[in-house]
Amino acid sequence: MGYLCLRSVTKSYDGKSNAVDDISIDIERGEFITFLGPSGSGKTTTLMMIAGFELPTSGLIELAGHDLALSKPYQRNIGMVFQNYALFPHMTAIKNVIFPLRMRGFPRGDMRARAEKILALVGLSRFAERYPRELSGGQQQRVALARGLVFNPDVLLLDEPLGALDKNLREQMQVEIKRIHREVGITMIYVTHDQTEAMTMSDRVAVFSNGRIEQVGSPLDVYNKPVNRFVGEFIGDSNFFSGRVDAARPGIIELAGIGPVRVMAGMNTRAGDVDVMIRPERLQVLPAGQPGGDSNVLDMTIDDIINYGDSILAIGRTHGLSLRARLAGGATDIPQPGSTLRLAWSPADAHVLARSP
């Protein structure tokens, strides 16, 4: 049993289809877990049920052994940070932070000191007397974060809190939120559709799709060992090939249109149709005349190049199949569309998945 437990939680608005469909997950005290998935996958609805703003159609949500269905939202010691900040425009930053303390009957003489301490934690001591309109988007989000933390909640819920920020500020806030999590040690549940946020901030990631949790694991686990094709395609860039396993040929998979390739023995223990995933960064350029050794070798005809500065994404085809290769380093001799690259990948770099029915 975890600190926060969801058991067979379902939410239906019309009685016909489920926005959240029988999900179960245990979240540990002090954990930073991210609910990741596309729009409409059920992650925010799940968050709203934990907060009490939505009621489950069925199932159980427990916090430290207490059934949250027995508590109104304002009775749950749960903080919330929204994407649109939801600050009171007529209140200064410090008054916004004091507000939840006043609503909870916090000792009046201690409220300002507590609010000042939390504003210092988020780096806003100098802006305590400013109104939201006088703050940047990142500063407003810090005020919202301070307001969610100030009353020492059991759990802090963050619903796509960085979605309105530009890229540089978003990356800065990712670092800040993770720092605050380390310092405070509070349980945090973070909702996003941004893979980078999930990968860089989380202890664990729960990947949502169509109201269900597809996989829960560490960021590296869900990236390197997705349980199905949806997870592999949603998190990061990927190449998928259809193949077939013959039990009589361990360590060999026959890829449709390509032919036999080597994978790690034991990776394909069951005969039948499979999907083989190879991440673009696992493909390495093989210089002309250099043997492939134990690696698998593919010739790629380039259709397009995307230059990221520190890396190059080559998009093209091999044997008529789509292929993407990410080449590290700021190459001076950038391959051009129409040219051919000889690429190699190690048998250990393939991830084999049983074909979904």
Q: What is the DSSP track for 257-290?
A: TTEEEE--TTS--S-EEEEEEE-GGG-EE--TT-
In eight-state DSSP terms, residue 28 is -
Which is higher by pLDDT, 285 or 165? 285
Distance of CA 249 to the CA centre of its chain: 37
Contact 153, 77 (CB under 8 A): yes
How much is the pLDDT for 269?
A: 58
> Do the strands 321-328 and 252-255 form a parallel or antiparallel pair, or are they unpaired?
unpaired
What's the rounded Cα separation, in Å, for the pair 324 and 301?
10
The structure tokens 């391959």 sit at: 335
Query: Mean of the pLDDT values across residues 184-196?
Result: 94
Contact 204, 218 (CB under 8 A): yes
Query: What digits encode the pLDDT tens for the residues 217-264?
Result: 999 999 999 999 999 999 989 999 999 988 788 888 999 999 999 998
φ and ψ of 108, to 5 deg: -55, -40
How much is the pLDDT for 330?
A: 59
What's the rounded Cα separation, in Å, for the pair 51 and 4?
12
Domain map (residue ranges) of the chain: 4-231, 237-354
Highest averaged pLDDT of the listed ranges 71-75, 152-156, 250-254, 336-340: 152-156
Closest CA to 74 of 145, 12, 151, 8: 151
Identical fold at 4-231 and 237-354?
no
Sheet of strand 351-354: strand arrangement: 259-262, 252-255, 239-245, 272-278, 351-354
Max intra-chain CA distance, the chain? 78
Residue 268 pLDDT exceeds 60? no
CATH 3.40.50.300 fits 4-231, yes or no: yes
> Do the strands 340-345 and 296-307 form a parallel or antiparallel pair, or are they unpaired?
antiparallel
Residue 15 pLDDT exceeds 80? yes
Which is higher by pLDDT, 171 or 61? 61
Contact 253, 276 (CB under 8 A): yes
Q: Percentage of residues in the chain with pLDDT exceeding 90? A: 76
Query: What digits encode the pLDDT tens for the residues 51-70?
Result: 999 999 999 999 999 999 98
**H/E stretch holding 189:** strand 187-192
How much is the pLDDT for 334?
A: 78
Contact 201, 190 (CB under 8 A): yes
Angle at CA of residue 185, ends 181 and 187, nearest 5°: 80
Name the CATH topology of 237-354.
OB fold (Dihydrolipoamide Acetyltransferase, E2P) (2.40.50)
How much is the pLDDT for 266?
A: 66
Residue 332 pLDDT exceeds 70? no
Count CA atoms within 13 Å of residue 348 on its CB side: 1
Sheet of strand 296-307: strand arrangement: 284-285, 340-345, 296-307, 311-318, 321-328
How much is the pLDDT for 100?
A: 94
How much is the pLDDT for 165?
A: 80
* Confidence tier at 311 by pLDDT (50, 70, 90): confident
Count CA atoms within 13 Å of residue 294 on its CB side: 7
In eight-state DSSP terms, residue 246 is -
What is the overall mean pLDDT for the chain? Answer: 91
